[in-house]
Amino acid sequence: MVWFILCGFALLFMNPGTSLAGVNNNVMYDGRSLIIDGQHKILFSGSIHYPRSTPQMWPSLIAKAKEGGIDVIQTYVFWNLHEPQKGQFVFNGRSDIVAFMKEVHRQGLYVCLRIGPFIESEWTYGGFPVWLRNIPGIVFRSDNEPYKAEMQRFTAKIVDLMKSNELYASQGGPIILSQIENEYKNVESAFHERGPPYVLWAASMAEGFQTGVPWVMCKQDDAPGAVINACNGMKCGETFAGPNAPNKPAIWTEDWTSQYQVYGDEPYLRRYCLSCCTLYCKERKLCKLLHGGTNFGRTASEFVTTSYYDEAPLDEYGMPNEPKYSHLKELHAAVKLSISPLLAGEQTVVNLGQSQTAYVYKVKSGECAAFLVNNGSKDAIVQFQNSPYQLYPKSISILPDCKSVAFNTGKVSAQHATRSWTPTQKFDSHQNWQEYNEPIPTYDNTSLRQNIIVDQMRTTNDLSDYLWYTFSFQHDSPNPESTLNVQTHGHVLHSFVNGVLVGSGHGVHRNAGFALESKVNLNKGINHVSLLSAMVGLPDNGAYLERRDYGLHSVKIDGKDFSTYAWGYQVGLSGENLQIYTDTSKVQWHRLSSTKHPMTWYKTLFDAPAGNDPVALNLGSMGKGEVWINGQSIGRYWVSFHTPKGTPSQTWYHVPRSFLKPTGNLLVLIEEETGVDPVKISLDRISVAKVCALVSETHLHPVSTWMYQRTSGNLNNTRQNPGRKPTAKLRCPPNSYISKILYASYGNPSGDCKTYAAGSCHSEDSTAVVQKACLGKRRCSVSVSSEKFGDPCPRISKTLLVDAQCDCQPCTEKNLVISQSPTGKLVQNKPEWSLTITNNCICTQMSVKLSCDGFQSVEKIDSSVLSKSGSVCLVKGGQPIYGNSKFSFTYASATSFPFKPLSSQVACS
């Protein structure tokens, strides 16, 4: 039986050259795979969550997914994003799921739509809108009529939206698979007799929509009817019992190329390529997360960082994460070379040694593919089909023809890349900053009052992370020294007494509750206690989410319990409620003070940096809060919460280019803590600063050296250039070049691309050979061969390690070439001239200015084309003239005017 997978990377299969996302494709399945338009297919799938990037980023992300060998884009549907208030739907901007689907379709890929509508996904409240918990009698995700009514209503809304836009494959659209519910088996037992009937109902409800494509349930071994049960987890090859019916394909709906990060934890790095290939060679299935993105605003679940899965093959900014991206690209290509025997062949398992196994797929026509697995910790030489093969420790070799190795997980010739953060703008002028101190409310100026301590989540209804708990009391003791003790299930607490901060504390992921004890000095008479409880996201998993309570639980002063006292509440911060991050005129701002107070708003203005490289705010000098750019929240920040290594979990916070205007961008922060310094904030450009290659004589050629050949309808694999040497390949990003060889060694260098040193064998010509091949170029290739470097140590296997620096191409206004010619037209009896500015540099040039003293034109020129100020003319309103491109305009004058380039801003992106 052939296994199928689909997920947030995943794998199905198709024949190379087959058109994706065609018209009116009926989607069915059997025990072998999905069947689309009558053809069995296996397709790689990668996860891109549309609201975690911007519409402007979608085309590039999808294109890079396709370039990396992905055939299917998978995404969740985010209920609380689309229906923040009951009956009020949002489907624009980052919520425009239809536009996202159409872009996927336009680029020729399929879609797996995971409706849920419970999604988890480290998304606040697991995707549920908070208003859902306020429905009387509701119990989420159980055989509960109020919940089922709402779930069906929203699912129908999404299905109808997809149908009305003809997005299902049965209508000619890209959607080939849908998911209902998500990982329900994790919680089903908590609902006792209300669990199993809910599963039956959810499956029946989904199938009743008649979308023309199959439905799946992940982590639901007893998925009923035609719904396919799928596996989620890192070790599905070991834990998945398989499909629950012989006519269903095996599907793995989730695996992770890294792991999401929470504040206070280090990033999680995973040796992913091996685990993928292990699962595929046994089960014929594979899945991966392609792009995480950014948890903008308050969308992250509790304690999850704003940056989401930055270690995925495409990082938070959409840049390839090397070598992971290229490793997986090679893996995809190698597996696709084996499509025919994988789909049609029978599997045979051959024992090659104590820890070595071959998984062989062979069809009657003779086509054959094999996966040779070494689970041991040492190299092994094995005999397979009468030929010897070297298997590296903990590795898998793919033989698309059962003869030649096309790919090995332990020897992939992919370059490594190192990102850099370069300040493009520093906010180091005190004069450019202003601040506003958030008022500390007291009981007297609150309007919401109760004689009990209320639940924070039910009171705020997710309108804010913040809830003020206030009360006032009479203190008659002559001793001013007292102890304030607060027990809370909120994530963060700031305690104020008479307007003065007396203590702060916070919980941690999976243990959010904590106690805060503060020593306070009380006034004789009335004292005002103001306790600010802050959430860092809502929970995203577990049973009975509707019953969770947050915020304060008990408050005592010197042992006296105030839990049933007269309390006043304020939902949100004053500046938040006034939306001063959009309209700053609503409050009185002041010059930046040398004394830093808690709960302070800061604002400044800045211009957008030149170019198109991703940019991020470096908030390393700040504490905890939230940031807005031109009224759009880029997310929470929490730099003061350090990891066990003593560093912030996240320092840089992504500012999408689409959030920016050319000039006058408004930056606003709410900062909860003291000891911060906004003048040390910078806006940094993210780019690839270094590229490195580590290739030995035993490395394989890139999979691209194999080619497809179809003979009599069969696929044969043939090796190109069999005598070609392994090659170290370096490639800088667009608009940059290799400016310096930082290190080169041909011999037996020690270490890797992060730390290295020359070994006992080293060619003295290493640097010179690599410099000659690579300096000044965007990309280069160097053969790992003694013919190039000489042989410093005969009879020893050689390795080439090269570390190179990437820099912007040195461009100036001198690269702007002006040419003019008459058009042959007359304007007010003056000849019309066509002027063309050619930027013959690979880098973009912005704010191009020309000398134009005395220039006049009887033909009107729009100011967005050319604007004159004194003796200087600004071209194109300062907008970019991209590398190797032209910009033209016309004017009318008795003679051509001798324009000359004066200046420009160069942008390497």
Catalytic positions are 183, 254
CB-count exposure of residue 776 (10 Å: 0-12, 13-18, 19+): exposed
Q: In what order do the strands lie in the sheet with 34-36?
A: 27-29, 34-36, 39-41
What residue ranges in 323-399 does DSSP mark as E strands?
346-351, 356-362, 368-374, 380-384, 387-391, 395-399
C-beta separation of 552 from 533 below 8 A: yes
Cβ contact 845:839 at 8 Å: yes
**In this structure, are strands 251-254 and 228-232 parallel, antiparallel, or unpaired?**
parallel
* Close Cβ partners of 409 (under 8 Å, ≥ 6 residues apart): 273, 274, 277, 331, 395, 396
Q: How far is the C-alpha of 119 from the C-alpha of 302, rounded, in Å?
A: 15
Which amino acid makes up residue 566?
A: A
**Strand bridging mode 632-638 / 380-384:** unpaired
Q: Which of 506, 496, 532, 908 lies closest to 735 in space, CA to CA?
A: 908
Question: Could you give the count of Cα atoms lying within 13 Å of 188 in the half-sphere of its Cβ?
Answer: 18
Residues in the chain: 909
Can you list the alpha helix ranges (DSSP code H) found in 513-618? 574-577
CA–CA gap between residue 606 and residue 683 (Å, rounded): 10
**Contact status, residue 55 vs residue 93, Cβ threshold 8 Å:** yes
How far the first Cα of the chain sits from its last, in Å, is: 48
Torsion angle (degrees, nearest 10) of CA 570, 573, 575, 581? -140
Nearest-CA neighbor of 893 among 867, 861, 858? 858
Find, among 340, 341, 342, 346, the residue nearest to 286 by Cα. 342
Q: What is the CA radius of gyration of the chain?
A: 31
Q: Is residue 236 classed as helix, strand or coil in its secondary structure?
A: helix
Q: What is the rounded distance in angstroms from the CA atom of residue 231 to the CA atom of residue 225?
A: 17
> Are the beta carbons of 338 and 400 closer than 8 angstroms?
yes
Q: In terms of DSSP bridges, do strands 665-671 and 624-629 run parallel, antiparallel, or are they unpaired?
A: antiparallel
Per the omega criterion (within 30 degrees of 0), is the bond before 480 cis?
A: no
Integer Cα distance of 431 and 429 in angstroms: 5
Q: Which residue has the tokens 């035609």?
A: 226
Token reading at 654 = 């992504």
